[in-house]
Structure 1
Amino acid sequence: MPDFIDRFGLFDESTGQTVLSSSRQSIITSLLSAGTFVGALAQAFTSDRFGRRGSILIWSGVFTVGVAVQTGTVRSIVQLTIGRFIAGLGVGALSAIVPLYNGETAPKALRGTLLVLYQLQIIVGLFLSYVLDLATHSIANSASWRVPVGLQLVWGLALLSGIFFLPESPRHLLGIGRTEKATRVVAELNSVPIDDALVIETVEELQFAINEENAGGKATWVECFSTRNAMWKRTANGMMLQFIQQLNGQNFYYYYGDTFFKSAGTDLSPYVIQVILGAVSVAGTIPALYLIETWGRRRSLLTGAIFQAICALIAGLVGHFTLAPTGTAQALLTQRNKSGGDTLIAFAVLHVTSFSIFWGPTPWVYLGESFPLRVRPKAIALGSATNWFWNFLLGFFAPRIAVDIGPLILLIFFGMLVFGYFYVYLCIPETKGLSLEEVDEMYRSGVKPWNSAGWTSHLIERMHEQEKRRAVDNVHDSDERAAAA
């Protein structure tokens, strides 16, 4: 945007114009990513100490402060980047806490759907931001960029105020010994009286599982990679899914797709291209609300890897062999270039659509439901931090690679998706329809991932057996006291 470049760019004496150099662009972009990485890790400390609800409150405040600092910037790139780093702290932390909170408060039959809904709301937010950029970019003053940046205050304040109307996670409350309050929350979340059988049974099951999890004492970061209860497998799976998600190509289209689309012969502006991709993402995420609980996690990831790999392969080869080099005059573009460009755009849209249905939401669902309570904030922090770390590397290195090899960069993403297919098949168990405590039991059972869809939990049976043994012991104690008397 011209006003933004005028305020935060550098004067180029050779051209007599103010330009936003690639180094400054990199600083402005990367400081947000650096903040998200730090925030994703830092929330693990606040989530345990202040609870999930209190932690959301804290980091929403941090995000809002960061946005205010950016919006108030006049010409200082230092203030702008510091504001982006502060806002990034909040974004990174909330990206870990919100799936954690949703996973711990949702019924198991709806947990996947609600976590996909979380992803859908993110995609809707991105789409609205693209529409807003399109609407304001032609304004001749600072409103062109202050309005999109400043409106983030609305969402920060909405989260800050709205969290006061939501309950604390019942699992966190039970974990810190506040059983009575946890019971009230379970009743509230299920819209039943506090003495309802559903509430009593749910609290007993949660308490039994939490007691088993906490038998080893206070959890540490090292435990996330320990062999105890297959924790290293779970942490590795959460981090690997986030790694594969970032490197399967869709973000490349978002960040640098306009360059390819221009070489494909399109006259659409980058703003319009962003709006189109955003609309496709919103439409693609809606079917995932249904598929996540019908197809399950494994099938969604495997299907998505196949579809996206095909799209990346075709788009990469067609783009390499048919498109004119970047910078070719419009008058020299041939029909061959145009048809190749149409093919590239079509498969780019299909790639983004497939990502939105499968690999966009599913890794976040899996991350939110794979860990026992004792290490859940820490393990989710590692997965979220992995996502932001590779997001940063993609944004930093992808344009440099694309300059050298052009559309063939899509073959790198093709290879990652092939790897992702085999990784999911060999390492990712099915968690559909299981409570968080049953997921923990499944991992401890050692079932092979390709056989996990048919696995059955025995958690409730063990709990009832323990209750029977306790009852028998009580009878024996009573008999012994009677005999002594």
Structure 2
Amino acid sequence: MSSKFERILTGPALAINNFLDKTPKIYNVYFVACISTIAGMMFGFDISSMSAFIGTDSYMNYFDSPGADMQGFITSSMPLGSFFGAILSSFVSEPFGRRISLLACAFFWMVGAAVQSSSQNRAQLIIGRIISGVGVGFGSSVATIYGAELAPRKVRGFIGGMFQFAVTLGIMIMFYISYGLGQINGQASFRIAWGIQIVPGLLLFFGVMLIPESPRWLAKQGQWEKAEFIVSKVQAKGDREAPEVLIEISEIKDQILIEESAKSTSYATLFTKKYIKRTFTACFAQIWQQLTGMNVMMYYIVYLFMMAGKTGNTNLVASSIQYVLNTVCTIPALFVVDRIGRRPLLMGGAIFMMIFQFGLAGILGAHAVPWPDSPNPTVTIKIPEDNKSASHGAIACAYLFVVGFASTWGVTTWVWVAEAWGDNRIAQRGNSLATAANWIMNFAIAMYTPSGFKSISWKTYIIYGVFCLCMLIHVYVGFPETRGKRLEEIGQMWDENVPAWRSASWQPTVPLASDAELARKMSVEHKENGLIEQDTHSKEGDLMGQDTQSEEKV
């Protein structure tokens, strides 16, 4: 089926790639990351454009006051589409390139946004969100692996973390847009907001024309000249003899040789004895990111602040502070992830979030009272208005939880999963599967949360606190440190079953050449190849001269 699918797309894909190759390019890795991670900004736009309106009269009246189950399905329809998009992405990204997958991301997102903004009923809204979700699934799966393939090793964590920063920036921008449009009475408020979502799709669509293809993908297609040119432009301003360029090309060649000597890969390859452990761990990294409870805070923050006694504009303003914190606290994580490492951030973040999930549950459990005349059937408890200290304490726990997530798991999960495979042969399919695990869990949480609030109210936060404890244990025993390591080294750690808690100080048993040694070796090979080519051309010239003289004599 996949080969038939590929044959159908081959002609158009080649035409698109040829067109993209002819457009002007910008090779600055930070600019490239800014374009590719617009896919993350789309996800952020979706979160805010839904959370800002689910408590408004205009939304409730137009869509006939959806109950807890229906609102859960409306919200979760986007991550449901993202699940399928993440799975499908490898069938486009691997044969046709990363840029075409990003174009598919932009296309589905814009179509979905148009369908949402023109929604006449719940069914059309759900369909539009599913279509947009397919686009986000493509982007979230491809953007992170594309950044890891293109970025120099020293800033790989920073570039990988930019995806999460784009998510937080999208949440904040769209929330304030929605807040302003929410002052409009009637359905125009949410229709304009959902229509504005087309803008990041357009930015990504045209931005893809300015960025290069992944050099690792080009090398896999046998286009070594293009691959070497792009690596040199990204890492050394066009100097093909620079040590970092020679090292990168050498590593790509090693990976391609491994791939050519192995059987063709499929999703089944991820579950073979060699890869099953890293597949399980990477998928759980994405699952744990959802089970922190962060998207409960993002999708349904309006419900939380209703429980804390905040309503109307006061609720929205309090919610907006959380979105600002989410964005601001992501920035230091981009710099710290390459200095401290992945494991300390993941474990520290799990402890921090666990404390504030339990704190929030404790405050609501001790001070909230039943709310029989609640304007929203999902929210059944409320802290009395005269208990300001409890209300402020609950809000503070929510804010501090977001600080903990944004500065640790938000960034680090995407970085670690993109690096963890240790083998470029399975990286794209593995990343697609792990991202799909993230989205299906996102769907489950978005679907369950309104019913959870309605049924067990504040006890919902205890569940996520327990999950934070579980992920702390799993990271300690099962997540190896990947900071600053080459793909070959990460692969060796998995193959040798190095204990995760010893991985930071582990040295490969099969020594790998140092960067300096590798650069010297590659430089010599480069020069020898150049001399051989010159000698070959010289001999060919001599032979041609001899042939010409013989012809003249004749």
Output the TM-score relative to the length of structure 1: 0.87
| Map of 1:368 onto structure 2 | 418
Tell me the CA shift for residue 218 of structure 1.
Answer: 1.0
- Mapping of residues 395-434 of structure 1, within 5 Å: 395-434=446-485
Deviates further, 338-347 or 89-98: 338-347
For the 8 Å contact 1:218–1:374, the answer to whether it is kept is no
1:184 counterpart (198, 222, 229)? 229
Shift of 1:67: 1.5
CA separation of 1:332 and 1:452: change in aligned 2, threshold 3 A = closer
Name the residue aligned to 1:117.
162
- The aligned residue for residue 236 of structure 1 is 280
Quote how far apart the aligned CAs of 1:334 are: 7.2
Cα drift, residue 24 of structure 1: 4.2
Q: 1:324: how far off?
A: 2.1
The match for 1:108 is 153
Quote the residue 1:474 is aligned against. none
Task: Identify unmatched segments of 5+ residues in structure 2.
Answer: 1-55, 375-380, 526-554
Once the two structures are superposed, what CA deviation does each residue of 1:366-391 show, in whole Å capped at 9, x if it has no partner? Answer: 11112222111211111111111111
Flag the 1:441–1:213 CA change in 2: closer, same or farther, 3 A.
farther
> Is 1:248 matched up with 2:298?
no
- CA distance in structure 2 between the aligned counterparts of 1:89 and 1:331, rounded to whole angstroms: 37
Who is 1:151 aligned against? Answer: 196
Displacement of 1:142: 3.6
Corresponding residue number in structure 1 for 2:552:
none
1:406-461 deviations in Å (ceiling 9; x for gaps): 21221111111111111000000111112334323332333211111112353337
CA deviation vs aligned residue, 1:281-335 (integer Å, no higher than 9, x gap): 0121112012101111000001001111111122212221122223489999375
Q: Give the number of equivalent residue pairs.
A: 454
The one-character-per-residue Cα deviations of 1:252-289 (angstroms, maximum 9, x if unpaired) are 22233333323323345443233121111012111201
Q: Which position in structure 2 is the counterpart of 1:459?
A: 512
Deviation for aligned residue 1:5: 4.2
Instruction: Confirm or deny: 8 A CA contact 2:111 2:131 kept in the other structure.
Output: yes
- Alignment partner, residue 250 of structure 2: 204
**Is 1:351 matched up with 2:404?**
no
Does the CA-based 8 Å contact 1:263-1:326 persist in structure 2? no
- Contact 1:441/1:459 (CA < 8 Å) preserved in 2? no
Give identity over the alignment, percent: 31
Q: CA RMSD in A?
A: 2.5
Q: Structure 1 residue 322 and structure 2 residue 367: aligned? A: yes
Quote the residue 1:294 is aligned against.
339
Give 1:460's aligned amino acid. Answer: A
Cα 1:134–1:377 change in 2 (3 A) is same
Answer whether contact 1:323 1:341 (CA < 8 A) is retained. Answer: no
Contact 1:133 1:271 in 2 (8 A): no
Distance 1:441 1:305 in 2: 27
Residue type of the alignment partner of 2:388: K
Partner residue in 2 for 1:97: 142
CA distance in 2, matches of 1:197, 1:410: 53
Relative to structure 1, the CA distance from residue 342 to residue 282 in structure 2 (aligned partners, 3 Å threshold; closer, same or farther) is same
Q: Which residue of 2 aligns with 1:477?
A: none
Q: Structure 1 pair 65/332, CA: closer, same or farther in 2 (3 Å)?
A: closer
Contact 2:368–2:382 (CA<8 Å) still a contact in 1? no
* Aligned equivalent of 2:439, options 365, 388, 392: 388
1:259 equivalenced with 2:284 (yes/no) = no
TM-aligned CA distance change 1:23 to 1:449, over 3 Å: closer
One-letter amino acid of the counterpart of residue 417, structure 2: L
**2-side partners of 1:153 and 1:146: how far apart?**
12
Q: Which residue of the partner structure matches residue 94 of structure 2?
A: 48
Which amino acid is 2:111 matched to?
A: V
Range moving further from structure 2, 410-419 or 420-429: 410-419
| Native 8 Å contact 1:206 1:437 kept in 2 | no
How far did 1:245 drift? 1.1
Residues 402, 3 of structure 1: alpha-carbon distance in 2 compared, 3 angstrom cutoff: closer
Q: Which runs of 5+ in 1 are unaligned?
A: 11-18, 472-485
TM normalised by structure 2 equals: 0.77
